Amino acid sequence: MQINIEIIGNTLVAKLFGELDHHCCDEVRAAVDREIERGRIKNLVFDLDGVSFMDSSGIGVIAGRYKKIKEFGGRTLIIRARPQVDRVLELSGIKKILECG
Amino acid sequence: MNNKNENFMRLDFPSKSCNESFSRAAVAAFASQLDMNIEELADIKTAVSEAVTNSIVHGYRGIKGIIHIECRISGDSITVTVRDEGRGIEDVERAMQPLFTTDRDGERSGMGFTVMQTFMDKLSVDSVYGEGTTVTMTKTIGGEADGDFGEI
Ligand SMILES: Nc1ncnc2c1ncn2[C@@H]1O[C@H](COP(=O)(O)OP(=O)(O)OP(=O)(O)O)[C@@H](O)[C@H]1O
Ligand SMILES: [Mg+2]
């Protein structure tokens, strides 16, 4: 999995490429948490346009980051989910909690 | 039953997380000989990923083991069996509830069985605590008129 981190103002944009499963969720968790812990960002955007597959392990990673961001009063947004990814997001109920565009 | 459409394959591999993507891709490649749409294929891939990940994360937690997959095509249905000889599940009914997870300090969402149930037509889970778990899931390919009926 390739992870591109970009900071725009106080928002972290994490662009993911590849398949977001249990095998690579540690990598995504570490990359995003590193930025959260630096304390420079408030909001988080997951750009999933490059994610060709995701399962419930991906839901766990996204939900975990959402909780951390929320602790500091920030917002989490998911953008550009492809159909397979969107079906898993939908089923998990996470779309009702955070924002999806 | 149409004899033409009977096929099977088996796969054994160690419980390494790098085999998650390999195994779901292999099942999808086998399944694609059934004439199904992209969404149906993605459903099978996702369900297999859940079952295999569960065997690695829960079944063989902290230990090494072998995961066995068997796929059987019969007519317009595909049945995928994912089996491990890991820890087993203490209470299967409870484990299958949405949001139930034994991974308390991790970040599991407890949605794996719900995904399998939703994306496949049939799901059964057999488990013996301390001995292992077998997940059997079937999907029947629906959609537009399939040629198999018109052969008489
Ligand atoms: N192969 C298995 N061996 C042992 N226990 C299992 C197995 N599969 C599932 N379980 C048990 O069933 C519970 C529910 O599984 P399920 O896949 O629904 O959720 P999860 O794996 O905990 O979370 P998620 O799949 O959302 O990451 C697990 O927490 C685990 O206790
Ligand atoms: Mg699971």
Pocket test for ligand 1, best of B49, B53, B55, B58 (most atoms within 8 A of CB): B58
pLDDT tens digit sequence for A52-62: 999 999 999 99
Whether ipTM > 0.90 holds is yes
* Model confidence at B152: pLDDT above 60: no
pLDDT tens digit sequence for B23-38: 999 999 999 999 999 9
Confidence of residue B3 (pLDDT cuts 50, 70, 90): low
Mean pLDDT of B109-119: 97
Identify the residue whose tokens are 């991790």.
Answer: B106
pLDDT tens digit sequence for B39-82: 999 999 999 999 999 999 999 998 999 999 999 999 999 999 99
* Model confidence at A68: pLDDT above 70: yes
pLDDT tens digit sequence for B120-150: 999 999 999 999 999 999 999 984 433 444 3
Q: Across the A/B interface, how many CB contacts are shorter than 8 Å?
A: 67
Q: Which residues from B are below 8 Å from A61, CB to CB? A: 107
CATH code that applies to domain A2-100: 3.30.750.24
In a domain, B1, yes or no: no
- The pLDDT of residue B74 is 96
Respond yes or no: is residue B50 known to be catalytic.
yes
In a domain, B100, yes or no: yes
Domain count, chain B: 1
- The pLDDT of residue A93 is 93
Give A62 Cα–ligand 1 centroid separation in angstroms.
18
Respond yes or no: is residue B108 known to be catalytic.
yes
Say if CB A23 and CB A55 are below 8 A apart: no
In a domain, B151, yes or no: no
Q: A37 vs A5, A30, A41, B110, B129, CA distance in Å?
A: 14, 10, 9, 26, 40
Structural domain spans, chain A: 2-100
Cβ neighbours of residue A91 closer than 8 Å, sequence gap 6 or more: B111, B114, B115, B118
Q: What is the CATH number of the domain that holds B133?
A: 3.30.565.10
Annotated catalytic residue within B20, B24, B54, B87: B54
Give A60 to chain B, closest Cα distance, Å: 5
Strands B122-128 and B77-84: unpaired
Confidence of residue B97 (pLDDT cuts 50, 70, 90): very high
Ligand of minimum distance to the alpha carbon of B113? 1
Question: Cβ of B26: how many Cβ atoms within 10 Å?
Answer: 17
In a domain, B51, yes or no: yes
Q: Which residues from B are below 8 Å from A22, CB to CB? A: 17, 20, 53, 56-57
- The pLDDT of residue B106 is 85
Domain span holding position B104: 6-140
End-to-end, the C-alpha distance of chain B in Å comes to: 12
Respond yes or no: is residue B151 known to be catalytic.
no
